[in-house]
Amino acid sequence: MVKSLGGPSRLWPKRPGCLEASNQVFEAMRSILKIVTATALLAGMAISASIPTFTQSQIDSGEAIRALGKIAYDTAMARAAKATSGCTKDKIKIRKEWRNMTLPDRKAYQEGIQCLMQKPSRYPNIKGAKTAWDDYGVLHYYQTPFVHDDATFLLWHRHYNWVLEQDLLKLCGYTGVFPYWEWGLDCGSMDKSPPGTGGGCLKTGPFANFTVNIGPTEARDPLAYNPRCLKRDLNDDVCRKWASLRNTTDLLLSTSTVAVFQGAVQGEGVRGDNGKNFGTGVHSGGHYAISGDPGSDFHFSALEPGFYLHHGNIDRLHFIWQNLAWDTRQTISGTNTMYNMPPSPAAVLTDNMGFEPLHRNITIKQAMDTVGGTPLCYVYEPW
């Protein structure tokens, strides 16, 4: 099954009405994000005994998640050290928290994004898409009903970020570090990072003059040309409630199966080990900490530059979670449609995930290991 995205006519062949279903699911999702009502109880195997026991102070300060990140980093690097081809230890790219990047890398990364905002679109039949950056909004718009609240949420977005990394290299010459944003380091001070506080158009910073060309989802034709400024509305309350260092650490320590982990990340109402409640989830917490237009638009949020640092952190959490018990955490759970609407078969590792025309499609299994070398080859450095 290929989730192909060459254009509207190729959106999930043999499944008419998907866009209508998407809108229905979108409305349901908005309600769920406001009030989480699901109460599914999922059981699983205990976390590896090698994981340290942490005090609440260590969890809240970030000491615990740094330690977990180091365990995951060392585990992944040890696997790569055994490789004789593909992703060998000397080829691995190290992803870093934004604040740990060098100033030249930060500047070059921003310039790379600006470069994509000037390159031509690869969607010739989408009139609203003017640039290569817009392509990411189109791709995410089409894929939204099939890569959220289902089996491929974590792995599709993992590869999506990697595709952006390849575009930055091939189209814009960026060879530096790909970043992630640890939200918990900013909870309590969202007015200081990133720039753009105030719930309006960005007036300063590298993306002050960026034009959002397509969306919003509610428009009569969401893919029509609709130029407007990039807006942010930073929300520290959301960050503190749902994207804190405690939230992320609890997520790693209290989710024993991928079904619980991915449900907890997305705020689906699942309960973790010992009945842990994850509320709205870190995925929504990070998105709505930025908010604005298009940052809070479920389908077009990928046009917000902060989206990729946010999803870099989601992927980092998945990377850590997998590597805390690697032998049992190369799995998926669910179907290929959001909330199984419309009903679809259970996903399997040989299913394809669609990225055309930005990149070739790959199987779910190919995105499972960040040091698998087919094609991924990176690890996350603890901040």
Q: At 238, which CATH number?
A: 1.10.1280.10
Mode of pairing for the β-strands spanning 93-97 and 179-180: parallel
Mode of pairing for the β-strands spanning 362-363 and 352-353: antiparallel
Residue 317 lies in a domain: yes
d(CA 171, CA 65): 35
Summarize pLDDT for 48-96 with one digit per residue, the tens: 448 999 999 999 999 999 999 999 999 999 999 999 999 999 999 999 9
d(CA 270, CA 42): 7
pLDDT of 230 strictly over 70? yes
Contact present, 339 and 38 (Cβ < 8 Å): no
Q: Which two tokens stand for residue 181?
A: 């944003």
pLDDT of 198: 54
pTM above 0.75, yes or no: yes
Summarize pLDDT for 95-134 with one digit per residue, the tens: 999 999 999 999 999 999 999 999 999 999 999 999 999 9
DSSP letter at 335? B
Domain that holds residue 271: 8-33+59-380
Residue 1 lies in a domain: no
Domains contained in the chain, number: 1
pLDDT of 190: 83
Residue 42 lies in a domain: no
pLDDT of 191: 66
pLDDT of 196: 40
pLDDT of 6: 35
Residue 48 lies in a domain: no
Q: What is the mean pLDDT of residues 148-174?
A: 98
High-pLDDT (> 70) share of the chain, %: 85
Residue 51 lies in a domain: no
Handedness of CA 283, 164, 119, 3 (dihedral sign): negative
Provide the terminal-to-terminal Cα distance of the chain, rounded to the nearest Å.
38
Summarize pLDDT for 334-367 with one digit per residue, the tens: 999 999 999 999 999 999 999 999 999 999 999 9
Summarize pLDDT for 292-335 with one digit per residue, the tens: 999 999 999 999 999 999 999 999 999 999 999 999 999 999 99
Residue 44 lies in a domain: no
Mean pLDDT of the chain: 88
Q: Which two tokens stand for residue 232?
A: 């942010």
> Which pLDDT band, with edges at 50, 70 and 90, does 37 fall under?
very low
Residue 227 lies in a domain: yes
Residue 2 lies in a domain: no
> Which pLDDT band, with edges at 50, 70 and 90, does 10 fall under?
very low
Summarize pLDDT for 168-227 with one digit per residue, the tens: 999 999 999 999 999 999 998 886 655 445 578 999 999 998 999 999 999 999 999 999
pLDDT of 83: 94
pLDDT top residue among 247 and 43? 247
